[in-house]
Amino acid sequence: MAFRHIGKPAPRKDGNDIVTGKATFLRDFSLPGMLYVKVLRSPHSFAEIVSIDTSKAEAMDGVKAVLTYKDAPENWRAGMPVHRKVLDKIVRCVGDGVALVAATTENTAEAALDLIDVKYELLTPVYDPDEAIKPCAPQIWEQFPNNTFPPGCWQIDHGDVIFDKIVMGDVNKAFEECTLVIKDKYTYNAFPSPLAPESPGVIVRWDDEDEITVWATSQSPNIMKLFGMDLMPDVKMTVNAFNVGGSYGNKQHMSNEFLYAALAAKVTHQPAMCYLSKTEHLLTFDQRLGNTMELKIGVLEDGSIHAIQGDWIVDTGMSSVFAQGESEVGLGEAQLVTIKCKNWDLKTKIVCTNRVLSGMVRGFGGQELKSILIPLCLKAMKELNIDPVQGFIKNLVSEGDEYIWRDGKPQTCVGVNYTKAIEETAKAFGWENKWKGWNKPSSVKGNKVVGVGVGVHANADAGEDDSEALIKLEHDGTVLVECLVGESGMGQRNAACTFAAEVMNVPLKNVKITPMNTLLNPKDFGLAGSRGTRTIGTAVHNAAMDAKRQLLERGANAFGVPVDAVDTEDGFIFLKELPEKRMPWIAVLSPMESIVGKGVFKENFQSPNFFIMFVEVEIDLETGQADIINVVGGSDIGQIIDPIAVKMQCHGTFGSAGTDTGLYEGHVFDTYTGHVMTGNMIDYKWRPFNDFPEFETVLLESGYDFAPFKGIGVGEITGSAGPAAVLMAISNAIGVEMHEYPLTPDKILKALGKA
């Protein structure tokens, strides 16, 4: 299919405003009389507030309110299931909210925090999830015995099915049939922060007793609205978003910040902003889940995984934000890379500890689970001396394979086969020459050794949840896209305009898109799971086709010909056989009317996306320092929408709690005091742009018939295959199997016997 816009690089419609500073971000926006909310945070990981004196803070000029647990509405609660009060008498992690100050300036609010006097009674904390689930462990929430949250996710579950485990076949019999059965334990527990450049922030204004308007740094205004309905069920809510300075799946609903701003605004009768500092962002905002798994797998002689048994312990920190949903998606994704396995006994447990809470993060459960599942699969391939590339091909989902997805319903794979993508990416990396065998370096130069590794990831959420879109055609050739799509850097709003321009055959500059507002736009779930390309793309395509049909019917009537005899280009309707015979849209569409087309997409989990990553890692045997020196990542995405944007999405594997969680990215946690020790960009290790390794992308374009523009999204998962690939590369380089992330120099030296 020949496209006019799809697959061709073009300047982003919002690009000039972003690079020149004209684009609006939340910090550029204010409301008359807006107050600034700052949070007094607990220095203790588990304590009860005995007394709190706010009188000195309240007396400060410019302070409009000082709020404590005594002021918090009982029915305003966050979490899954809802359990966490806006402010509580019990604090459950270092950084938990103790009091709020709303003042006319940020400096005044911060100064007032120092005048609040709090006395605590210390309680016994628990930081290890294995210890937290023991009967004698301190109870962090009275309603959740053994510090275990109940399963179930209101957004994902359908009907009575709760997908908190995979139990099928007969694992005991299957293990007897296997050529190899191995058992091991892996951890992925450094709870890294995705750390988008722009910190989370929310502004709330009460318009009536039961109506509020919200402005937020959310990549998905509708997700924020859905969570808001859960937090405050009796309140109607409109959510707005501007340009968002990155999110990486992390800045979706911002429940705590929203509730802080909402409470301050309600008490003061003035709009209120709660915007986190970078330190607060690092130390108190949603981190990646912690994970431990003791796993047993059985493999047949040809490398097919035949049986899996184990317990996935998920550490969600002091409160579950969405951990149940993340584990459900993770269980679905685990099957996609072990599709030959029909015998399962894999259970999940969501555990509460006294560390900072975990929440939504790019990779969403699948990265957590597969960073500990893939290494054991690779260990089995090693024992059978199977090339890991061939092992992945053998076990990866393809056309006709069956699996259970996040809602507990069976699915059958349709339309994708990633074997060629794996082979072409391996060829580009030079796998055949670099692979020297298991636990063997690919090269040795003095005290420097290089190892190679490979990881894979697949996710059926690329077709998750429903989308609606409207297309309005105006007399002057303008095309207006109405859909609730956010913008946090990936260019999704630009893509929506590109889809409309393609169908209507107009220049991209003729296409406009409505602001990010839940009141103005038709329904859309939000940006998650790489869903935008297929779901929003389909809805916009169908809406544009509907609008185009109406336009051409009018044009055909004006020309006195059948509708299939006319087409449109650049705001004109023309006869196909006599292209020079044409009329402008205004000839059939007056300035006082619009043509409106509607399009929808219904969720479909049958066509997973995929990404494979090959890495070379160099290790200094004297210092234990490990550096990624080369990366090749690849997939078959059906059709490239924007070649520059998709390449940048692939490069986004670094940072954002992705590939570098295999090396160094993650928090350092003091298990004596409960403090996170990495609260700034010096201590929290982060790859600067000038430290990027060589990175090549191999993106095939098979043209998928299940999508109108033949493409499927991949950006959300590009970093998810990285941690397991890094672990494998380091294990091969030093000849010692590694089991714990991140692989910092001290761990490597310990494995070498040099600690």
187 belongs to a structural domain: no
312 and 271 belong to one structural domain = no
CA end-to-end span of the chain: 59
pLDDT band at 234 (very low <50, low <70, confident <90, very high): confident
Mean of pLDDT over the chain = 95
One domain, residues 45 and 73: yes
pTM beyond cutoff 0.85: yes
For the chain, the residue count is: 755
Spatial distance between the Cα atoms of 130 and 45, rounded to a whole number of angstroms: 18
Does residue 158 have a pLDDT over 90? no
- Tell whether 475 and 613 lie within a shared domain: no
Same domain? 436 vs 472: no
Residues 6+ apart with CB under 8 A from 689: none
User: What share of the chain has pLDDT > 70, as a percent?
Assistant: 100
Task: Tell me if 696 is assigned to some domain.
Answer: yes
Peptide bond into 194 cis (omega under 30): no
Report the distance separating Cα 339 and Cα 334, nearest Å.
Answer: 8
Give the tens place of pLDDT for each residue, 459-516: 999 999 999 999 999 999 999 999 999 999 889 999 999 999 999 999 999 999 999 9
Cα angle 658, 406, 370; round to 5: 35
Lowest mean pLDDT among 9-23, 42-56, 297-311: 9-23
Say if residue 409 is in the same domain as residue 446: yes
pLDDT digits (tens, 9 = 90+) for 613-633: 999 999 999 999 999 999 999
Task: Supply 265's token pair.
Answer: 């605004």
Q: Are residues 595 and 614 in the same domain?
A: no
Residue 135 forms part of a structural domain: no
pLDDT tens digits, residue range 282-302? 999 999 999 999 999 999 999
474-505: burial string, b at 16+ Cβ within 10 Å, e else: bbebbbbbbbbbbbbbbbbbbbbbbbbbbbbe
* Euclidean distance between CA atoms 116 and 99, whole angstroms: 8
Domain count, the chain: 3
Q: Say if residue 755's pLDDT is above 80.
A: no
Q: What is the mean pLDDT of residues 170-181?
A: 97
Please report whether residue 140 resides in a domain.
no
Phi, psi of 358 (to 5 degrees): -110, 155
Residue 315: which CATH number? 3.30.365.10
Do 311 and 328 belong to one domain?
yes
* Of 260, 284, 308, the domain-final residue: 284
In a domain? residue 185: no
Does residue 137 surpass a pLDDT of 80? yes
Asked whether 509 and 244 are in contact (CB, 8 A), the reply is no
Q: String of b and e for 89-105 (b: at least 16 CB within 10 Å)?
A: ebbbbbbbbbbbbbbbe
pLDDT bracket for residue 529 (50, 70, 90): confident
pLDDT score, position 1: 67
Tokens, residue 16: 């000039």
Q: Range of 269's domain?
A: 31-123+196-247+251-284
Q: Tell which residue, 613, 599, 604, has the closest CA to residue 714.
A: 613
pLDDT in tens, 544-595: 999 999 999 999 999 999 999 999 999 999 999 999 999 999 999 999 999 9
Question: Quick one: 20 and 88 in the same domain?
Answer: no
Q: Determine what percent of the chain is predicted with pLDDT higher than 90.
A: 91
Residues 319 and 442 placed together within one structural domain of the fold: yes
Q: Do 94 and 224 share a domain, yes or no?
A: yes
d(CA 333, CA 59): 55
Q: Cβ–Cβ contacts within 10 Å for residue 673, how many? A: 13
Note whether 561 and 530 are same-domain residues: yes
Cα–Cα dist 375/383, whole Å: 12
Tokens of 728: 């494998």
- Output the pLDDT for position 657: 87
Pick from 259, 284, 309: which residue ends a domain?
284
Q: Which two tokens stand for residue 595?
A: 């043509």
The bridge status of strand 511-513 relative to strand 479-482 is: parallel
Residue 409 lies in a domain: yes
Kindly state the average pLDDT of the residues 218-243: 90
* Of the candidates 577, 593, 602, the residue with the CA atom closest to the CA atom of residue 473: 593
Looking at the fold, whether 333 and 405 belong to one and the same domain comes out as yes
Given a cut of 80, whether residue 157 has pLDDT beyond it is: no
pLDDT value of position 213: 97
Is the pLDDT at 406 greater than 70? The verdict is: yes
